[in-house]
Amino acid sequence: MLHAAFLGDSNVISFIHDWVPLLLMLALVGLVFMTMRLVPRTKPAEIKPQETPQIVWADIAGVDEAKAELREIVDYLKDPERFHRLGAHVPGGVLLHGPPGTGKTLLAKAVAHESGATFFSQSASSFVEMFAGLGSARIRRLFSAARRHAPAIVFIDELDAVGASRGGPGDNREYDQTLNQLLVEMDGFGSTGNVVVIAASNLLAKLDPALLRPGRFDRQIFVSPPDVAGRESILQVHSRLKPVDPDVDFSLLARQTSGLTGADLANICNEAAINAARRDGLQLETADFDQALERVVAGMQSRRRMTDRERRVVAFHEAGHALCAELMPSLDPVHRISIIPRGRALGYTLNLPAEDRYLRSREELIDMMTMLLGGRAAEQIVFGSVTNGAADDLKRVADIAHSMIHEYAMGTEVNSQRLADHLQSESARRMHDAEVRDLTDEAYRSATDVLSRHRPQLNQLAEGLLARETLERKDIEGVLEGIPAARPDRRPGIHLGLAAATTPEATSTSQ
């Protein structure tokens, strides 16, 4: 009996050893299949329209061309029959592209409010899913919901997240399916009726060509940074509900903010209000806007303490920038010089453009490089050595010189052709490098010559900075009174922005 019991126990152990792992594996596979069967049965979340944004045309300034283009969309959605009688149909898609902060999203919201259309807003990244088919299914649900609520506007922000060119490195079938579904919904296979797709992107060059053809995005509207009149209008829009001192000159402030976008200007108005609240003021004064501009453009005031020698180096560095800017014929007059550290910059020079400029001559670009190299030249003249404070200046000079030769063909020998870097022969590259070196050397010699001939004024500007830390336009004019420009044909020039001394790990602030 003992032998029989032992045999029975052996059979049980053998059964457990042979069959239990197999049964556990089968149970696990069954659980996985049950889960996969249940997942598709989960009802997807319904896509609902957003509350109509309370943005009107009057809330948007500085983008008059884009507003004029979009008014036609509003007119169509309000009265489609007027267009149907003549055989016209609404553009199926409108692509708003341009730098960040120029008001693309605000424009889409204004179209929805002014037209009274139902508004659907989605970020393109919400269509990018990990599981196959979910992204394209979400696009189908979105357009289906939009057709049910027509007339409707579908706004897709950051379109490049789902609409980038196909055929790049790697293979992502889910990404391609999502983009293909968007293409189908926007062309004749998925007629959208009175549904307008408005998309925004900062990267037009990266979008798939199939998206950009007529029939999908019929209109491409470039939303550019505002000009001086647009900047003044934007500042007034963002200040109209704030108690602003009547003495605040928005025209002057607009001239000081060349190159800034609507978002930057809105931030300046908000920072001005914060400054006024910080000092318990009843109104926003000019000083509040000046401080806000410095904070937005140059960064917050730093608590770093410099040695006396460092302060002298920075003072002469910024004085060199300012003096070259004043004496170069094509550059804008200097509005303010400061050696108060802000952000990662140890000082800055702010120019005041007379007007916005879009074309630059060879002479103007050389003057620009001369101004940038004025800080380095001043250090060499005064102290007999140079510091790392010109790191950002040198980078910007190199970029300008490289563009002059490689893109604008503004060299001595290279003056009629533009060649891509990777297509040049070794001899052509050597010639181009020599041309770049000649341009930068010419600008540095010009800066050294100007500062050497006006050394007393350089000293006065630097000593004024050391005593007061900041010099305004009237102070600069007092120092330079009676000095003619380097050339008699002085004219309004390009606003380059801020030129500043830097620490080793920093870059100069710029507009």
What CATH number does residue 200 fall under?
A: 3.40.50.300
Instruction: Give yes or no: residues 162 and 285 share one domain.
Output: no
CA 142 to chain centre: 29
CA 464 to chain centre: 36
Q: Which of 318, 326, 379, 435 is catalytic?
A: 318
How many structural domains compose the chain?
A: 4
How many whole angstroms separate alpha carbon 364 and alpha carbon 329?
8
Residue type, 216: R
Q: pLDDT below 70 — which residues of the chain?
A: 1-18, 20, 33-46, 128-133, 167-174, 188-193, 414-424, 482, 484-511
How many whole angstroms separate alpha carbon 173 and alpha carbon 132?
8
- Look at residues 208, 192, 259 and name the one whose alpha carbon lies nearest to residue 230: 259
Whether residue 486 is contained in a domain is answered as no
In angstroms, the Cα distances linking 117 to 84, 114, 159 are 18, 8, 21
- Look at residues 124, 283, 144 and name the one whose alpha carbon lies nearest to residue 198: 124
How many whole angstroms separate alpha carbon 263 and alpha carbon 103?
7
Instruction: Give yes or no: residues 217 and 232 share one domain.
Output: no
Radius of gyration of the chain (CA): 32
* pLDDT attached to residue 194: 79
Asked if 313 and 387 count as a contact pair (C-beta separation under 8 A), the reply is yes
Using the 3D structure, point to which of 222, 257, 282 is the last residue of a domain: 222
Q: Identify whether 379 is a catalytic site residue.
A: no
Domain range for 447 is: 308-480
Instruction: Give yes or no: residues 148 and 285 share one domain.
Output: no
Instruction: Give yes or no: residues 366 and 442 share one domain.
Output: yes
Whether residue 497 is contained in a domain is answered as no
Instruction: Specify the residue for token string 């602030």.
Output: 509
- We report the CATH number of the domain holding residue 464 as 1.20.58.760
Instruction: Give yes or no: residues 84 and 146 share one domain.
Output: yes
Instruction: Give yes or no: residues 326 and 464 share one domain.
Output: yes
Instruction: Give yes or no: residues 268 and 313 share one domain.
Output: no
Burial class (CB in 10 A: 0-12, 13-18, 19+), 38: exposed
Helix (H) or strand (E) holding 485: none
Using the 3D structure, point to which of 298, 320, 355 is the last residue of a domain: 298
DSSP designation for 174: H
Whether residue 502 is contained in a domain is answered as no
* pLDDT attached to residue 412: 76
Helix (H) or strand (E) holding 337: strand 334-338
Asked if 346 and 503 count as a contact pair (C-beta separation under 8 A), the reply is yes
Instruction: Give yes or no: residues 322 and 272 share one domain.
Output: no
- Given strand 195-201, what is the order of strands in its sheet? 118-123, 152-157, 195-201, 93-97, 219-222
Identify any residues that bridge with 379 across adjacent strands, giving them in sequence order.
none
Length of the chain, please? 511
CB count, 10 Å around CB of 91?
19
Could you read off the pLDDT of 475-489 as tens digits, one per residue? 888 888 867 654 333
Tell me the DSSP string of 380-423.
HHHHSS--GGGHHHHHHHHHHHHHHHHTS--SSS--S----GGG
Whether residue 159 is contained in a domain is answered as yes
Is the backbone peptide bond immediately before 151 cis, with ω within 30 degrees of 0? yes
Whether residue 16 is contained in a domain is answered as yes
Instruction: Give yes or no: residues 29 and 108 share one domain.
Output: no
Whether residue 498 is contained in a domain is answered as no
CA dihedral over 422, 424, 429, 435, signed as positive or negative: negative
How many whole angstroms separate alpha carbon 75 and alpha carbon 115?
7
Identify any residues that bridge with 220 across adjacent strands, giving them in sequence order.
95
User: What is the Cβ-side half-sphere exposure of residue 329, based on CA atoms within 13 angstroms?
Assistant: 9
Instruction: Give yes or no: residues 210 and 274 share one domain.
Output: no
- Maximum separation of any 2 CA atoms in the chain, in Å: 127
Asked if 498 and 342 count as a contact pair (C-beta separation under 8 A), the reply is no
How many whole angstroms separate alpha carbon 227 and alpha carbon 61?
11
- We report the CATH number of the domain holding residue 262 as 1.10.8.60
Helix (H) or strand (E) holding 95: strand 93-97
Could you read off the pLDDT of 203-234 as tens digits, one per residue? 888 888 888 888 888 889 999 999 999 999 99
Whether residue 50 is contained in a domain is answered as no
Is the backbone peptide bond immediately before 214 cis, with ω within 30 degrees of 0? no
Instruction: Give yes or no: residues 335 and 469 share one domain.
Output: yes
CB count, 10 Å around CB of 281?
15
Instruction: Give yes or no: residues 390 and 249 share one domain.
Output: no
Burial class (CB in 10 A: 0-12, 13-18, 19+), 351: buried
Helix (H) or strand (E) holding 470: strand 470-472
Helix (H) or strand (E) holding 334: strand 334-338
* pLDDT attached to residue 50: 75
- Strands of 127-225 (E only): list them: 152-157, 195-201, 219-222
Using the 3D structure, point to which of 273, 298, 323 is the last residue of a domain: 298
Whether residue 461 is contained in a domain is answered as yes
Instruction: Specify the residue for token string 């579908």.
Output: 154
